[in-house]
């Protein structure tokens, strides 16, 4: 558990470092990711304090151990901790979804059709998150242990847990697919090479990692309903749930590498161009003409960049033909030198300079012991 938390912490620290190093500020989606990390930290602390009670409840329920003198106290403490942690899981995982929605909104905020799709997906995502939080059987987590044992071990309560576990998984995966489809739908209207489109689509599809974890988690946990004691496998339930939560934060942070690499690439190419110009200037044969040509090309490049900036500002009013996503691919330097097209020259990517990452994560939510989904 703490290993996954450490990985998520490293990923978030790198994300913040990249944003501040490259763009000198954090954006709204960064703060949402930071809030999700804080909830992950609190959840880890709760599980660390209540894990002994979880194992004792599991062994007593399976008939492998006699209840200790403090069994009811430990069990109640575990259930109350589960109540708090489950709410944090739901809120944290859906916060990650919202962080991607906030980022993806800026990709096509000038395209009316995209805006309509974005609002529909956002509304459905929020509604599904509220449904998941509302499906928690709070009375099976906060009531005294005697009531929990009597009421939440009934067939109806266990059946409710099984159904909501699968429904919540379906909502999680479906919202991930909807969110992932937003940026991918813009890729095919962008004037970049096919290879770059494939790379960007791969970054947007990182959500598949957490989707797989969500499906595996439900598959493993559901075995408890058909084998053994007709209840979810508690330890596996919380292990896979915490893993998915941590991986969701990692996936949200992995795309920060794109911004860092793009900036390093631009700095490297600028340094190479500077050295080439100095070498041409110092060359004994034809140095004057080559230096003059290099300065002319630099001046032309500056004019094109200025024109591109002005053109984007004038189109900011809402033309459906303008797709800001076209700037996320970085520099189309080779094509711009060959064609001289001002709009194909990509200096500092607009999207990268504003947002600094590409990608999307997801996560699923979990349910507590016995009849407490």
The three-state DSSP-derived secondary structure of the chain is CHHHHHHHHHHHHHHHHHHHHHHCCCCHHHHHHHHHHHHHHHHHHHHHHHHHHHHHHHHHHCCCCCCCCCHHHHHHHHHHHHHHHHHHHHHHHHHHHHHHHHHHHCCCCCCHHHHHHHHHHHHHHHHHHHHHHHCCCCHHHHCCHHHHHHHCCCHHHHHHHHHHHHHHHHHHHHHHHHHHHHHHHHHCCCCCCHHHHHHHHHHHCCHHHHHHHHHHHHHHHHHHHHCCCCCCCHHHHHHHHHHHHHHHHHHHHHCHHHHHHHHHHHHHHHHHHHHHHHHHHHCCCCHHHHHHHHHHHHHHHHHHHHHHHHHHHHHHHCCCCCCHHHHCCCCCHHHHHHHCCHHHCCCCCHHHHHCCCCCCCCCCCCCCCCCCC
Q: Note whether 165 and 137 are within 8 A (CB).
A: no
68 against 326, higher pLDDT: 68
Q: Tokens for 54?
A: 């979880």
Q: Note whether 106 and 355 are within 8 A (CB).
A: yes
Mean residue pLDDT of the chain comes to 72
Q: Note whether 39 and 88 are within 8 A (CB).
A: yes
What residues contact 289, with CB distance under 8 A and at least 6 apart? Answer: none
Q: What is the mean pLDDT of residues 116-122?
A: 94
The model's pLDDT over 322-341, given as tens digits with 9 standing for 90+, comes to 444 434 444 334 434 434 44
110 against 98, higher pLDDT: 98
Q: What is the mean pLDDT of residues 10-24?
A: 86
Q: What is the mean pLDDT of residues 293-321?
A: 44
What residues contact 65, with CB distance under 8 A and at least 6 apart? Answer: 56, 59
Please report the pLDDT score of residue 350 as a whole number: 38
85 against 265, higher pLDDT: 85
Q: Which residue has the tokens 């959500």?
A: 207
Q: Tokens for 3?
A: 């290993």
Q: What is the mean pLDDT of residues 78-89?
A: 88
Greatest mean pLDDT range, 58-62, 223-227, 260-264: 58-62
Confidence of residue 231 (pLDDT cuts 50, 70, 90): low
Q: Tokens for 205?
A: 């599809």
pLDDT at 120 over 50: yes
13 against 357, higher pLDDT: 13
Please report the pLDDT score of residue 313 as a whole number: 38
Q: Which region among 208-222, 266-280, 347-361 has the lowest average model confidence (pLDDT)?
A: 347-361
pLDDT at 373 over 50: no
Please report the pLDDT score of residue 346 as a whole number: 38
Cα angle for residues 180, 181, 184 (degrees, 5° grid): 95
């Amino acid at each position: 558990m703490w290993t996954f938390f450490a990985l998520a912490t490293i990923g978030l620290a790198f994300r913040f470092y990249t944003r501040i190093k490259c763009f000198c500020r954090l954006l709204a989606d960064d703060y949402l990711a930071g809030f999700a990390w804080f909830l992950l930290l609190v959840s880890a602390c709760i599980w660390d304090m209540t894990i002994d009670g979880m194992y004792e409840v599991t062994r007593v329920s399976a008939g492998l151990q006699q209840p200790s003198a403090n069994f009811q106290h430990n069990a109640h403490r575990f259930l109350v901790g589960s109540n708090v942690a489950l709410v944090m899981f739901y809120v944290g995982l859906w916060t990650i979804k919202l962080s991607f929605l906030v980022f993806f909104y800026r990709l096509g905020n000038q395209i009316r059709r995209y805006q309509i799709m974005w609002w529909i997906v956002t509304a459905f995502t929020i509604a599904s998150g509220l449904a998941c939080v509302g499906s928690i059987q709070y009375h099976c987590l906060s009531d005294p242990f005697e009531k929990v044992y009597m009421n939440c071990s009934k067939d109806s309560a266990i059946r409710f847990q099984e159904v909501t576990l699968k429904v919540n998984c379906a909502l999680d995966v479906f919202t991930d697919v909807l969110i992932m489809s937003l940026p991918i739908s813009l890729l095919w209207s962008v004037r970049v090479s096919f290879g770059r489109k494939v790379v960007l689509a791969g970054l947007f599809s990182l959500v598949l990692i957490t989707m797989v974890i969500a499906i595996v988690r439900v598959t493993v946990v559901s075995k408890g309903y058909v084998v053994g004691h007709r209840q979810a496998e508690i330890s596996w339930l919380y292990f896979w749930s915490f893993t998915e939560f941590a991986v969701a934060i990692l996936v949200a942070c992995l795309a920060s590498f794109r911004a860092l690499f793009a900036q390093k690439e631009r700095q490297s190419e600028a340094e190479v161009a500077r050295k080439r110009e100095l070498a041409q200037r110092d060359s004994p044969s034809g140095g004057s003409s080559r230096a003059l040509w290099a300065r002319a090309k630099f001046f032309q490049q500056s004019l094109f960049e200025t024109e591109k900036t002005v053109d984007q500002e004038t189109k900011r009013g809402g033309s459906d033909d303008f797709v800001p996503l076209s700037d996320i691919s970085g520099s189309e330097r080779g094509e711009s030198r060959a064609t001289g097209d001002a709009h194909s020259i990509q200096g500092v990517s607009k999207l990268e300079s504003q947002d600094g990452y590409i990608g999307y994560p997801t996560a699923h939510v979990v349910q507590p012991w016995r009849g407490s989904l």
